Chains A and B, each alone.
Chain A
């Protein structure tokens, strides 16, 4: 029974990781660098939602889209003002720059909201119970929203021209450029997509736990692990990878001190890098 309960928590966390990992995987595939600022982009989204959801007390279904759009805009602004200039140089410069951006975003969050832990809503939520299992209303919201977002991403990637171009470019940037894809536009939309999902993931993380300036940074390692597990540049792989990492992290508390949860993500990452550095789903080209 406890395993099932942890499984539920694992799916909730896994969904959040998956949303982050889609963005990391696509930017890694398309721009060729591991974006170290993605976790802190999530934090930024979570704190933007705090303004509308908590300070102004607007309902979540208004606060969430605002936070999502703001995070997407933030990702685009960072790309236009910094990353764009580094793209013609080595990808490692992008990585170093993104590491700096991560700290700058965290610093901004601290300047505006202080270093302390904050919650969206005070008070205890009564969990729903069925068959001895508990799930909080917030977690149901997170699950439903995550499924809807993943569906939307799926439709976008499969049905729209931009989505197909994005997959093509993540799969093979050189070939995509040769076949006449407007790469600058794809890059722009990659940041919009990645930023949006990061914003949503940040809000969900805040709902599931609490807000803290380092909340996103601490999730970065599981997100990288998920993206690598699923295969870089494979958005569907990132979703699967996220779920696996989330579930394994939560169920690991059965036999490991909870403090070492991040170490589990790292262990999976290392095993993947050793055994199959191309990721689980590299064999298939699009799915």
Chain B
């Protein structure tokens, strides 16, 4: 019984690590590769989650749809719609300095949150959206959670592989060039805006995919779940702790920070009763402190960025 409980918790834990890993990989393309400050990760995460949920749930009077479509359609819709949102945001803000993108991205996240909350006909409003199907349920009777973990890890592996390919490709090299010295990249004839837009949209699509993976995992979503704290801040801490620009670092960061975050939960639930309601804030304080310590002492993260070795020309 002990062991079974531990296994269940392990599967739950690793699935969430996988979802955060996807978010961190998406952010890595935007921030790690290209140096774009997206403080609105939550927006793309939420759009992905809601898109997939609306496409795959059974028809319900509480929200738009659902359309009862199979989950791959939901996942594809999540990526597509997050990408469309990113395209719109990117076209407006990517010409500007990175600070303005950061400001605009919190604006987007805020508006998406307001929209989810207030447009009940589409999203179910504050009541949320329930009955989201779990993909692969029933394929391996008794092992639904494990099967879903395998699916999430397969997605992580696929995105990791794509990210690594992109990192080594000429495309990734241009992104790094833009990050390091945009003027020089443009002098070499690269259309910086176009490359940034591509990186921004691709990163956002991965975040949308993470949102879909999350929706089908927890099977009930409401605007509360897309608080900037969980969906944006933790992802940033993960990427910076693991190592911006390093995909293995992003995944390691997702794992390590989720361990820390879960460990603080175990710690604070042992506090006296009257303090438990404030314990959540204590956890945030600790994670915030951790971020500052990392920025002060090891800004390159646990696994620093390693540019691919140039091939010998001669």
Contact = CB atoms under 8 A, between A and B. Distances in A.
Interface of A: 28, 33-34, 36, 82, 85-86, 89, 91-93, 95-97, 99-101, 103-104, 106-108, 110-111, 114-115, 220-221, 224, 228, 257, 259-260, 262-263, 265-266, 269-270, 273-274, 277
Given A99-B39, A107-B281, A107-B282, 9 more contacts: A85-B296, A91-B99, A106-B281, A259-B117, A260-B111, A260-B118, A266-B107, A266-B108, A270-B107
B128 interface: no
B99 A93 contact: no
Interface string B32-56: 0001010100000000000000000
B98 A89 contact: no
Contact of B236 (A33, A91, A99, A107): A99
Contacts of A263: 110-111, 114
A212 to B, nearest CB: 13
B184 to A, nearest CB: 17
14 contacts: A33-B99, A34-B100, A34-B103, A99-B236, A100-B237, A100-B295, A104-B284, A104-B285, A104-B292, A110-B278, A111-B282, A257-B118, A260-B111, A273-B104
B4 interface: no
Contacts of B110: 221, 262-263, 266
Contacts of A89: 299
Contact of B99 (A34, A82, A104): A34
Interface in B87-141: 92-93, 96, 98-100, 102-104, 106-108, 110-111, 114, 117-118
Most chain B beta-carbon neighbours within 10 Å: one of A91, A99, A262: A99
A87 to B, nearest CB: 12
B99 to A, nearest CB: 4
Given A259-B114, A273-B96, A92 B37 contact: yes
Contacts of A266: 104, 107-108, 110-111
Nearest to A223: B103
A224 B35 contact: no
Which 8 A-B residue pairings sit nearest by Cβ, starting from the closest? A110-B281, A104-B288, A266-B107, A107-B285, A107-B284, A107-B281, A100-B291, A34-B99
A104 B279 CA distance: 13
Contacts of A96: 37, 236, 240, 291, 295
A111 B281 CA distance: 6
A107 B92 contact: no
A59 to B, nearest CB: 30
A273 B285 contact: no
A36 B228 CA distance: 13
B183 interface: no
B289 interface: yes
Interface string B282-306: 1011011101100110010000000
A103 B284 contact: yes
Contact of A93 (B92, B93, B104, B295): B295
B233 interface: yes
Given A100-B291, A111-B278, A277-B100, A262 B285 contact: no
Contacts of B291: 96-97, 100
Contacts of B280: 110
A91 to B, nearest CB: 7
Contact of A111 (B39, B96, B285, B296): B285
Contacts of A95: 37, 99, 102
B305 to A, nearest CB: 14
Contacts of A100: 233, 237, 288, 291-292, 295
A262 to B, nearest CB: 6
A273 B93 contact: yes
A270 B299 contact: no
Contacts of A221: 103, 106-107, 110
B114 A260 contact: yes
A148 B207 CA distance: 47
Contact of B292 (A82, A108, A260): A82
